[in-house]
């Protein structure tokens, strides 16, 4: 369904998480250990869906997901999340 090297199965979605904020609005730098885990991302690839659940998201959608949703994977040195569509909270 996409041009990535990995194609999710069934109702799973491959997401590129947005980078965590490294600086506050006032300009204070946040160390890596204190940064919040990102909850936004961009859909890179989607599965075909299942008979019970059609795919609502599309490649390129910006989405919100739960803080501890998905499984972290690394492809060619880049970090991604793979999760079920039901773990996605909203399309932004």
Strand order in the sheet with 88-91: 71-75, 78-84, 12-17, 40-46, 62-65, 88-91
Report the C-alpha gap between 88 and 19 in whole angstroms.
18
Average pLDDT over residues 56-74: 94
CB contact at 8 A, 10 and 47: yes
- Please indicate, yes or no, whether the overall pTM of this predicted structure exceeds 0.75: yes
Domains of the chain by range and CATH? 1-18+37-92 (2.30.33.40)
Report the C-alpha gap between 26 and 44 in whole angstroms.
32
- Kindly state the tokens that stand for 88: 């996605």
CB contact at 8 A, 5 and 78: no
Dump pLDDT digits (tens) for 16-54: 998 766 777 788 877 777 666 779 999 999 999 999 989
């Amino acid at each position: 369904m996409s041009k990535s090297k990995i194609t999710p199965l069934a109702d799973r979605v491959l997401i590129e998480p947005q980078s965590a904020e490294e600086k506050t609005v006032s300009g204070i730098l946040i160390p890596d250990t204190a940064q919040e885990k990102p909850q936004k991302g961009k859909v890179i690839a989607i599965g075909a869906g299942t008979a019970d659940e059609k795919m609502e998201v599309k490649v390129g959608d910006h989405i919100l997901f739960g803080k501890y949703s998905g499984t972290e994977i690394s492809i060619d040195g880049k970090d991604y999340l793979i999760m079920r569509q039901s773990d996605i909270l909203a399309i932004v």
